[in-house]
Chain A
Amino acid sequence: MRHRLDIDTFREIGDSLFRNKRRTLLTGFGIFWGLFMLLFLVGGGNGLKQMLSMNFEGFATNTIVIISSNTSKPWKGMKEGRYWQLDRKDVERLRTLMPELDVVAPQVSNWGQTATYKGNSSSVSIKGISGDYHKVEAPLLKYGRTISEADVEQERKVCVIGKRVYNDLFPEGDDPCGRYIQVGSVFLRIIGVDYSSGNISINGSASESVMMPFSVAAQLYKRGNNVDIICMTGKKGVKMSTLEGRIRSILSREHLFDPTDDQAVMVLNTEQIFSIVDNLFRGVNFLIWLVGIGTLLAGAVGVSNIMMVTVRERTVEIGIRRAIGAVPRDILSQIIWESVALTLAAGSTGIVFSVLILNVVEALTKHQAAFQISFWTAILAALLLSVLGVLAGLAPALRAMKIKPVDAMRDE
């Protein structure tokens, strides 16, 4: 009957690790630093990604925005460089001809306007939006509601103001719903405040906008049937990039431009932007893991190296152990345990340290994004460490196993 785990097994490990404190410390530092780097980079990368993603906050990821532009190719006897204009009929056409689309939301806009309320003023951009625009760019309502279909149909003179506009006009900061602000020559009743801080600027960012019903804006700024931009989102599962061609051809038929003329319609596909960001971060993540794992491996090789030296130094000791009855497996497990104990202790310190530092980073960025690694990442790291520890201890342990008991008989 052979044991194995009693307190002395662990005391043996502790004894041999503490016998050369400085060496143990320096060796452990490699592992500590490797793990710290890995987790810190992983956490930092995630946080940065989140911070970047906040710029797209509230924006549907499958949105196409189209804007009319000058043609760049001659077509049917007409010269290139001709300007054409999107109009309300296009909205209807796209709605009926393209059942894959969920929302087709026209917008007219007017930049560089000034909104005033009781002597406070704010420079704003006006957006005339349809009742379903909130499905494209989700508002983060602090007060009130969004523009509805009924607002558009009945041409109500109401508006939703953005965060910055609200802060400018209502510095005392109470619920402004029901109050009237003046924009240009008209008074608009506030029905909501949008606190969304997204930075995607389609006709200006939400925070500096005054949004009013599409019909009101068209009338106010005398646009007739004209539309500045059309925002579209696809139904679930529809890949927007595959629809681009059909959208172009529908428009080209009506407005008489070359369907192959890419410049005639400016198409902004958020899907592409998101995929660029995604790809960017996939690359960054790859680098993070490469550097992190690399540093960690270098640490493990260091441990393995030092254990090799230790085993050589302890030849006599190991020989004595063998002479008084240790079987090779006892020696093997002792060396591997030492290696695992060293890696785990150093690595856990690395985990704790990186968690602390990430916490500080989070506090410094005012908790805008979650930099902290998840609990499971930490568990995974600990598992990875144990495996590394075993691997690092393997070569030295095999060498230790080769030590013969006769070696104890030699003089020290």
Chain B
Amino acid sequence: MLIELKGVHKTYDNGQPLHVLKGIDLSIEKGEFVSIMGASGSGKSTLLNILGILDNYDEGEYHLAGKLIKNLTEREGATYRNQMIGFVFQSFNLIGFKTAVENVELPLFYQGVNRHRRREAAMAYLEKMGLTDWASHYPNEMSGGQKQRVAIARALITHPEIILADEPTGALDSKTSVEVMELLTRLNREDGVTIIVVTHESGVANCADKIVHIKDGLIEKIEDNRQHHSSVFGTKTIMK
């Protein structure tokens, strides 16, 4: 098991306690393509934050690649994030004053990889994303789809165990959304990258092999979607 959650609880305490996750049990194997679906307020973002070691949890256990992720120091958290997890955000979250290639190589910078090898690796991933010509462009000179592909390259560069994508198509039009999801699917099929996508769009969720439905802080059902017949809008589109 790559990811194993057992009875994970999370309560936010802002004035009055808000019980967001009420005992989540979830296992994800290496090489799976999973989507987590739920309405806003269902706790899916909190779950993603916990999976991404961006947030801690109150009860239960979370094992990532055999390591218990609990009560980590900031430094350990940062190191695990850096080595095991690649993030793809809804709003891309590229650093605006850095070029595409500089953005991609940033995780390696924090790993202490030397400049030359960093640049080489970053260029290789940009090529894979079909963005070689855009390497020295700044994010504000690129389209949404290009920005998201740069972000995916940045997520991949450290060879992480999992890619966590938080509404990866949220800021894209439907055509680009399809391209980005196809890209993620290809990465999963061809390179065996484990991908977890959090979304509230059924079309996006339908790309995954397994759909985890979350409702009110609990897993409602886990749907086997290897046939990709889940979308109410048909199998070949991502409805916006």
Pair A325/B75 contact, Cβ less than 8 Å: no
With contacts A3-B112, A316-B93, A324-B110 taken as known, whether A406 is within 8 angstroms of B49 at the C-beta atoms is: yes
Pair A325/B78 contact, Cβ less than 8 Å: yes
Pair A409/B49 contact, Cβ less than 8 Å: yes
With contacts A405-B54, A406-B54 taken as known, whether A327 is within 8 angstroms of B75 at the C-beta atoms is: yes
Pair A325/B54 contact, Cβ less than 8 Å: no
* Bitwise interface map of A from 308 to 332 toward B, beta carbon under 8 Å scored 1, else 0: 0000000011001111111111100
With contacts A1-B112, A405-B54 taken as known, whether A327 is within 8 angstroms of B91 at the C-beta atoms is: no
Q: Which residue of A lies closest to B48 (CB)?
A: A409
Q: Which residues 56-104 of B sit at the A interface, judged by CB distance below 8 A?
A: 74-75, 78-79, 81-83, 87, 89-91, 93-98
User: Is A411 among interface residues, defined by CB-CB distance under 8 A?
Assistant: yes
Pair B74/A16 contact, Cβ less than 8 Å: no
Q: Which residues 163-188 of A sit at the B interface, judged by CB distance below 8 A?
A: none
A-B contact count (CB 8 A): 76
User: Is A49 among interface residues, defined by CB-CB distance under 8 A?
Assistant: no
Contacts of A321 in B (CB 8 A): 95, 106, 110
Q: Which residue of A lies closest to B118 (CB)?
A: A8
Pair A325/B79 contact, Cβ less than 8 Å: yes
Chain A nearest CB, measured from B41 CB (Å): 16
Contacts of A157 in B (CB 8 A): none
With contacts A2-B111, A2-B112, A15-B98 taken as known, whether A324 is within 8 angstroms of B54 at the C-beta atoms is: no
Pair A320/B79 contact, Cβ less than 8 Å: no
Chain A nearest CB, measured from B145 CB (Å): 18
Pair A326/B78 contact, Cβ less than 8 Å: yes
Q: How far is the CA of A326 from the CA of B107 in the complex (A)?
A: 8
Chain B nearest CB, measured from A3 CB (Å): 4
Contacts of B114 in A (CB 8 A): 3, 6
Q: How far is the CA of A7 from the CA of B119 in the complex (A)?
A: 13
Classify chain A: how many residues form its interface, as a range.
20 to 34
User: Is B166 among interface residues, defined by CB-CB distance under 8 A?
Assistant: yes
Contacts of B79 in A (CB 8 A): 325, 327
User: Is B115 among interface residues, defined by CB-CB distance under 8 A?
Assistant: yes
Chain A nearest CB, measured from B123 CB (Å): 15
Pair B115/A408 contact, Cβ less than 8 Å: no
Contacts of B55 in A (CB 8 A): 406
Q: What are 27 A-to-B residue pairs whose CB atoms are below 8 Å?
A: A1-B112, A2-B110, A2-B112, A7-B115, A8-B115, A321-B106, A322-B78, A323-B52, A323-B81, A323-B87, A324-B81, A324-B106, A325-B78, A325-B82, A325-B107, A325-B158, A326-B78, A326-B110, A327-B78, A329-B75, A330-B110, A404-B54, A406-B54, A406-B55, A408-B89, A409-B54, A409-B89
Q: A: which residues have CB within 8 A of B?
A: 1-4, 6-8, 15-16, 19, 316-317, 320-330, 404-406, 408-409, 411-412
Further contacts, 15 of them, CB under 8 A, given A7-B115, A325-B81, A408-B89: A1-B112, A2-B110, A3-B114, A8-B115, A320-B93, A321-B110, A323-B87, A323-B93, A325-B107, A325-B111, A326-B78, A405-B81, A406-B55, A408-B93, A409-B49
